[in-house]
């Protein structure tokens, strides 16, 4: 089996080629006919995507120097360029809808809290490469199903391919690095991630799409969804054979 370094270098190389390999988007397509109530909702969704791309780019840029493995740093630097490109695509699509950019990025607080974490940088990577990127992929699936526009479907699928690669990096790197952290620190990371999840999802209900999100994400949904991420964190090696009860009861 290839070494971690070799696998990460392969991912980084794949990312460097991504922009050239993606087919050009056809912006000449007729604009989709959205109803008066659909347009502001779609613009709000696109603004959320822009905010997510910008927040993730910032986090990757600032966390990269803290990572010891050069190949992992290269993956993060490549991701910064991916996220910037995605944000530009979404901004162009928003302009096509005559939408206005949002003045507030709802993920700014999550970035600040992630960057202020005093322990291992793996905590920030878990927050964004497992949970935020994972939710972004799920949100893209839902958006494609609800936005009746072939161009949006095309650009969303193109971006999703890059996001899947980012998630693959997180799973690969974290599965090797997390078991090396002391149990006490891994428990602290788990508790911090859980608080970040519930605080962040609650904050989303107060944003531009607050009422829509509050309906879609009641407290019961948040709790059930956290169980999904609890299982995903298990797969990353955060528990590393320890009793999960040690993490949830701490």
Average pLDDT over residues 68-87: 95
The CA-CA-CA angle for residues 245, 237, 157, to 5°, reads 115
Q: Is the pLDDT confidence value at 210 over 70? A: no
pLDDT in tens, 214-248: 555 556 777 788 888 888 888 888 988 777 777 77
- Residue entry with tokens 């162009």: 92
Q: Is the pLDDT confidence value at 213 over 70? A: no
Average pLDDT over residues 78-96: 95
Question: Residue 98 — left, alpha, or beta (φ > 0 → left; ψ -120 to 50 → alpha)?
Answer: left
pLDDT, residue 190, reads: 93
d(CA 171, CA 173): 6
CA 171 from centre of chain: 13
Q: Which residue, 131, 128, 105, is CA-closest to 207?
A: 105
The CA-CA-CA angle for residues 164, 165, 168, to 5°, reads 90
pLDDT, residue 92, reads: 96
Q: Are 123 and 117 in contact (CB under 8 A)?
A: yes
Q: Is the pLDDT confidence value at 250 over 60? A: no
Q: Which residue, 244, 220, 246, 218, is CA-closest to 231?
A: 244
Helix (H) or strand (E) holding 28: none
Token couple for 208: 């531009």
More confident residue, 139 or 188: 188
Q: Rounded mean pLDDT of the chain?
A: 86
Average pLDDT over residues 27-55: 89
199 CB neighbour count, 10 Å cutoff: 12
pLDDT, residue 94, reads: 96
d(CA 76, CA 65): 10
Query: What pTM did the predictor assign?
Result: 0.87
Domains in the chain, CATH or no CATH each: 4-15+37-248 (1.10.620.20)
pLDDT, residue 209, reads: 53
Q: Is the pLDDT confidence value at 175 over 80? A: yes
pLDDT, residue 19, reads: 74
């Amino acid at each position: 089996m290839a070494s971690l370094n070799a696998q990460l270098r392969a991912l980084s190389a794949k990312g460097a080629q991504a922009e050239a390999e993606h087919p050009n988007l056809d912006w000449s397509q007729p604009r989709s006919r959205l109803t008066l109530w659909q347009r502001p909702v779609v613009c709000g969704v696109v603004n959320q995507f822009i905010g997510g791309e910008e927040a993730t780019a910032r986090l990757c840029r600032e966390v990269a120097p803290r990572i010891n493995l050069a190949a992992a740093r290269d993956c993060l630097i490549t991701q910064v360029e991916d996220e910037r490109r995605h944000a530009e695509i979404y901004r162009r699509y928003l302009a096509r809808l005559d939408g206005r950019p949002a003045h507030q990025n709802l993920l700014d607080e999550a970035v600040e809290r992630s960057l202020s974490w005093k322990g291992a940088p793996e905590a920030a990577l878990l927050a964004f490469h497992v949970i935020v990127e994972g939710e972004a992929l799920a949100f893209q699936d839902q958006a494609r199903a609800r936005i009746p526009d072939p161009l949006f479907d095309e650009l969303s699928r193109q971006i999703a391919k890059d996001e899947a690669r980012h998630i693959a990096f997180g799973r690969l790197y974290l599965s090797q690095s997390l078991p090396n952290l002391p149990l006490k620190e891994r428990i602290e990371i788990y508790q911090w991630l859980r608080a970040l999840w519930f605080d962040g999802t609650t904050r989303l209900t107060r944003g531009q799409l607050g009422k829509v999100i509050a309906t879609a994400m009641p407290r019961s949904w948040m709790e059930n969804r956290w169980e999904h991420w609890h299982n995903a964190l298990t797969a990353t090696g955060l528990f590393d054979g320890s009793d999960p009860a040690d993490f949830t009861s701490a």
